[in-house]
Amino acid sequence: MKRRDFLKLSSLTLPAAMTGERVFSETKGSFHFPNPQHLSDVITQNGEILVRLKFSSADAKWPVLVAGDIMVKNAMLAAITRHNFEANDDLFDSTNYSFRLQAHKRNADILVLHLKDADDQTTVIVHLNQQVISFALADLLKTGYLQFEHASVRLDVNFLLDFEIGEIDLAQIGVRENPDDFCFHIFADPQGGDPQCRINHRTRMKIHNAFIEDSIVLANHLPERPLFSLILGDIVDSQGEEENFGAMQHFWQQLDSPILYELGNHESRYASTFEPGYNMDALHNFFDAQKKLNGLEKILYSFNVGKWHFVVWPDPLRSFFWDNHPHYFEWLQADLEKYKNRPTMVFQHVPVHPIGISPFPAYLEPASIRRTFVDIVTRYGNVHYVLSGHIHIPVKSSLKTACSIHGSNFITLPAAGYRPRGFGEQDYFGGPSQGVAIVNITGERARVTFKTVMEEELTYPEKCPELNLDRYKLWFNNKWEVTAEPNIVNGDFRNGLDGWVPEYIYEEDDSPSVICQARQVDDRPALYLYNRIRGYQAPGQDRLPQTINRMCQAVQVKPGHVPALQFQYKLDRKNCDLLGYCGGYVWIEGYDNSCRQFNLVYSAGTAFANPIDRGIEKIHDVFHFHLPDTFDWATVQVNIQKDFESMEPDQKIADLNVNRLVFTLGVWTLNEGTDQPFAICFTDFKLTKNPSTSTANGDAIQIKTPEKIWWQGKHMPFIHLAGEHRYHLQTTDKTLFEREFERFG
């Protein structure tokens, strides 16, 4: 077949990176991401041309098998690097550049070609499922993006650029000294902006701005002048509007030091895309503001001061960002290897260590990205600290969650402007937790201190407690990577929690709001799960539904043959609000290796609509079934096959090639308003032969009614009220909130 026969499209409306157009027509800034005109323009700083091959399924729902190999003519193929490859699913042979992949639209597989001595005649040839795809670099340069599709396999091709990556000299931002002893300041999560900007909530902006000003005043009056200051992401609130960057420029002009920017998740629109091609349109306003502030045009960069090396890592937290920037990890590894004999500090906006409250881990990078990042930064033993923000964490919680992983300290810093989230207990100090972090460097040693605007001070230890990676396996692994046994292990909890993998939960010092224990219930061993509203409801603290009190276990099954599940449960009469937004559940997932094929949730009380990590799958992929609200032991039999096929009548479970089941047991509560606790006991989990239908105490299990399923925005548009998230109303008068929602458009 000739190339034109299955070249579905070679270019779409080209990204601004290729055309010079701006992302927002109203933007008046002067920055333009470079537009490659010649092949020499795409040569990286180390003399290579990087070509990204992204393999995915053309079908949004089902995976596809991909097999083939790669050849290059008229250039030296120096290396092929792999990204997003899952063990057992994806194979690559570096001797003949052949591959075998299980690709999915939500979880694509990436190969990056490192070409040297390439020219306009260089051609890449991909044998793909017995078909041939070929393209010349000259053709790719003309369009910036090629897409091929054949037999449900989609291949996207583009260059990877590095204009926004590299080492800098702090002299570029006005730092003229290079001392061995110095200090610098970190402002995490200012999230300020222009109160008059249409998209902003005015009260929220005024609150953030006031604390930003106080943090700047504090920093300017500290006894030692900082060598520089770093804004640790979320410089602005909302979605990276030009007006907000302009307002923050005014604030930073009052700061008595040169300033560096780090990219966070509020510096671009929530729906930003970084495709097709190497599309940096979404960051136009960030680049423009950075260039005006300090002359730089970088989102991933490093520098040296004294004996230390520093790395600034971007965290936009946008869908598929890392699919489109896999070479960032390659650059990070090379940079840390180059300076492996220097003590190093890494700055990232979104933390990769566990925090223990919702919406985390769902509002962090996925487990595979966390694992890749940690593997790289701990590889050479030179990274002493990884400092992050994003959480808006109180001071006490910042210290309690600080940990060491493979010898590196990971610390999440409190915010400079944003009010703290509710971790359920009083902070160390009575006043606001906003402030500034001070890092003092003395030779090869560092001391990290946080000082609030009330001038209370906390110094972090030089060695934080080691994170228990064996206990919290899910933090750096996906569920399908958890060891699967031939049968359910310790299903009656006779041996405590052996065989079950818990989530990391933040625990208050006194009267914990979360319990996950194996205990005796009615003279029999069982799992006891309990959630109530987190305490210390301080005004201004942002409170979110708590959904992560849960644990799971994986079981191997014969592909296409899914057994039934049997278990027993009862509710705790003293600790269940049957009228509240809370509930307990058993969540069953079916996997074809790394691809999740179905989600069935069986719950008592009210169901939380989407237990799946944010941004991975949508609510409609989860099917909910009702368990009776009983205070006596009930025996449940679940016919997984029949329940799935009743919800997906066009699908047969035997065709899904499911070879692993994951069972998750959990409870949740809205964590807002009056206390809405829920407690449930589970025991006697076992796999059985399929019954004729799913039953609870002999009665057929019904589909959960919409009235018993809760999700954000169900009772009102999901907006902020004076800066705090608001999920439900305790009044039927929604007029005020409807008007506010309309104002935001």
Residue 671: give its domain's CATH number.
2.60.120.260
Distance between CA atoms of 441 and 439, rounded to whole angstroms? 6
Residues 299, 312: Cα–Cα separation, whole Å: 8
Overall average pLDDT of the 277-296 stretch? 95
Quote the percentage of the chain above a pLDDT of 90.
Answer: 81
Strand partners, 78: none
470 in any annotated domain: no
Same domain? For 683 and 633 the reply is: yes
CB contact burial 385-409 (16+ within 10 A = b; e otherwise)? bbbbbbbbbbbbbbbbbbbbbeebb
Averaged over 504-527, what is the pLDDT?
Answer: 96
Band (pLDDT 50/70/90 cuts) for residue 212 is: very high
| Planar angle of CA 637, 641, 643, nearest 5 degrees | 70
**What single letter denotes the amino acid at residue 710?**
W
Q: What pLDDT score was predicted for residue 20? A: 35
pLDDT for 621: 83
360 part of a folded domain = yes
Say what the pLDDT of residue 543 is. 85
Of 235-239, 438-442, 594-598, the poorest mean pLDDT is in 594-598
Res 738: pLDDT: 55
- In this structure, are strands 457-459 and 484-485 parallel, antiparallel, or unpaired? unpaired
Q: What is the pLDDT of residue 13?
A: 33
d(CA 472, CA 563): 28
Residue whose pair of structure tokens reads 């996906």 in the numeric block:
478
Alpha carbon dihedral 481, 484, 489, 491, in 10-degree steps, equals 70
Dihedral, CA of residue 510, residue 363, residue 391 and residue 517, to nearest 10:
10
**652 has a pLDDT exceeding 90:** yes
Q: Who wins on pLDDT, 716 or 486?
A: 486
* Residue 624 near residue 706 (C-beta atoms within 8 A): no
Indicate if the pLDDT at residue 280 is higher than 90: yes
CA distances from residue 421 to 203, 688, 720 in whole angstroms, order as listed: 17, 44, 14
How confident is the model over 61-75, as a mean pLDDT?
92
Q: Residue 12: pLDDT above 70? A: no
Instruction: Identify whether 471 is part of a domain.
Output: no
Q: What are all long-range contacts of 628-631, with beta carbons under 8 Å and residues at least 24 apart? A: 628/604, 628/696, 628/697, 628/699, 629/571, 629/576, 629/578, 629/604, 629/605, 630/570, 630/571, 630/604, 630/697, 631/570, 631/571, 631/572, 631/573, 631/576
Q: Answer with the one of 135, 160, 185 that is the final residue of a domain.
A: 160
Domain contains 603 = yes
Query: Are residues 223 and 347 located together in one domain of the fold?
Result: yes
Please say whether the beta carbons of 53 and 86 come within 8 A.
no
> What pLDDT does 105 receive?
81
Residue 717 has pLDDT above 80, yes or no: no
Please tell me whether residues 79 and 177 are part of one structural domain: no
* Average pLDDT of the chain, as a whole number: 91
Whether 466 maps to a domain, the answer reads no
Question: What pLDDT is recorded for position 14?
Answer: 36
Rounded CA gap, 49 and 76, in Å? Answer: 10
User: What average pLDDT does range 72-82 have in this prediction?
Assistant: 97
pLDDT at 111 over 90: yes
**Quick one: 541 and 663 in the same domain?**
yes
Domain count, the chain: 4
Together in a domain, 147 and 257: no
pLDDT band of residue 728 (cuts 50, 70, 90) is low
Q: Specify whether 704 is located in the same domain as 727.
A: no
How far is 218 from 224, CA to CA, in rounded Å?
Answer: 12
Q: Which two tokens stand for residue 688?
A: 């059985």
Domain extent at residue 177: 165-459
CA dist., res. 589 & res. 493, Å (int): 21
What are the structure tokens assigned to 149, written together?
A: 């599709």
Q: Please report the pLDDT score of residue 705 as a whole number.
A: 96
pLDDT value of position 361: 87
Helix (H, G, I), strand (E, B) or coil at 621: helix
Tell me how far apart the alpha carbons of residues 529 and 550 are, in angstroms, rounded to a whole number.
8
Per-state percent for the chain, helix, strand, coil, to nearest 5: 20, 35, 50
Among candidate residues 211, 54, 188, 48, the one with its CA nearest the CA of residue 126: 54
**Residue 5 pLDDT more than 70?**
no
**CATH code where residue 224 lies:** 3.60.21.10
Same domain, 23 and 90: yes
Calculate mean pLDDT across residues 114-140.
Answer: 96
Instruction: Name the E strands within 333-425.
Output: 344-348, 383-388, 403-405, 408-412
The model's confidence at residue 17, banded by pLDDT at 50, 70 and 90, is very low
Structure tokens at 521: 């219930």
pLDDT band for position 151 (50/70/90)? confident
pLDDT at 733 exceeding the cut of 70: no
Exposure on the CB side of residue 238, measured as CA atoms within 13 A: 24
Q: Which residue has the tokens 């292990």?
A: 489
Average pLDDT over residues 205-230: 96
pLDDT digits (tens, 9 = 90+) for 615-648: 444 445 899 999 999 999 999 999 999 999 999 9
442 and 484 in a single domain? The answer is: no
Q: Are residues 667 and 618 in the same domain?
A: yes
For the whole prediction, is pTM greater than 0.85? yes
pLDDT tens digits for range 21-34: 323 323 445 678 88
Residue 722 pLDDT > 80: no
325/212 same-domain check = yes
| Of the candidates 257, 231, 240, 254, the residue with the CA atom closest to the CA atom of residue 197 | 240
Q: Give the CA distances from residue 393 to residues 465, 534, 543, in Å, rounded to whole numbers and listed in that order.
A: 18, 15, 12
> 96, 131, 160: which is the final residue of a domain?
160
pLDDT at position 742, please?
A: 54
* pLDDT at 6 exceeding the cut of 80: no
Q: In this structure, are 506 and 647 located in the same domain?
A: yes
Residue 130 has pLDDT above 50, yes or no: yes
Residue 35 — very low, low, confident or very high, per pLDDT cuts 50/70/90? confident
Distances (CA, A) of 587 to 590, 602, 664, 707: 10, 6, 5, 19
- For residue 468, being part of any structural domain is answered with no
Shared domain for 172 and 89, answered yes or no, is: no
* More confident of the two residues 201 and 293: 293
Read off the pLDDT band of 88 (50, 70, 90). confident
Predicted local confidence at residue 24, as pLDDT: 30
Position 613 scores a pLDDT of 58
Q: How far is CA 723 from CA 26, 250, 547, 554, 732, in A?
A: 26, 22, 22, 40, 22
Q: Mark out the alpha helices in 395-441 (DSSP H runs).
A: 395-401
Helices 242-252 and 284-294, interaxial angle, to 10°?
20
**pLDDT for residue 735:** 53
Residue 456: per-residue pLDDT:
96
User: What pLDDT, on a 0 to 100 scale, did the predictor assign at position 729?
Assistant: 59
At residue 505, the 3 state secondary structure works out as coil
Q: How confident is residue 201, by pLDDT bands cut at 50, 70 and 90?
A: confident
pLDDT digits (tens, 9 = 90+) for 333-343: 999 999 999 99
Strand 546-556 and strand 501-502: the pairing is antiparallel
Backbone angles phi, psi at 639, to 5 degrees: -90, 90
495: pLDDT strictly greater than 50 = yes
Q: Which of 158-172, 675-689, 708-722 has the lowest mean pLDDT?
A: 708-722
pLDDT grade, residue 556 (50/70/90)? very high
